[in-house]
Amino acid sequence: MFRVAADSLEAYLAFDPGRTADLEQLHAVMRKTAPSLKRHFHEGTPAGDAGMRMNMIGYGEFRYAIKSGKTAAWPVIGVALQKNYISVYVAVTRGGKPLVSCYAGKLGELRAGGNNFSFAAFDDLKAPAVAALFAEAADIFKADRENPVRYMQGS
């Protein structure tokens, strides 16, 4: 698995200088279309706890129960550097289906699966479709804060 050695938002953004501009352009779309989802550094789940260990840029946050009975935090929308692309994870559903699946093939994405999509460069994306996805995710989360909890808990 590709690991980003960062312990803050600033360090994450600086980790791969060649892709910092792509992250900032994506952030500009997020800031304009979903300003209620505040950007932060998501550290991932600590070792020894169930959950995703990868760190990423998070937008908004919710908590959900894990099998141990503890709770874990996860971003409503997460953005993660991968070796050859950038992945965007959206933990929101529409009508019980992952929201990203409603936009698959319309985003200019390199690939899409489940509730995520990937791209190599921001310029490859269809910014209006990405903006619509982010705005809809924020609206759904604002109206139903338990939506991503149900998605993460598989119910």
Q: pLDDT digits over 66-96, tens only?
A: 777 778 889 999 999 999 999 999 999 999 9
Q: Is the pLDDT of residue 135 over 60?
A: yes
Stated pTM of the model? 0.93
CA–CA distance, 150 with 130 (Å, rounded to integer): 23
* E strand residue ranges, the chain: 39-42, 56-59, 62-65, 71-74, 77-81, 86-90, 93-94, 97-98, 111-113, 116-119
Helix and strand counts by DSSP (H, E) for the chain: 4, 10
Q: Which of 55, 54, 118 is nearest to 84 (CA)?
A: 118
Q: Is the pLDDT of residue 151 over 60?
A: yes
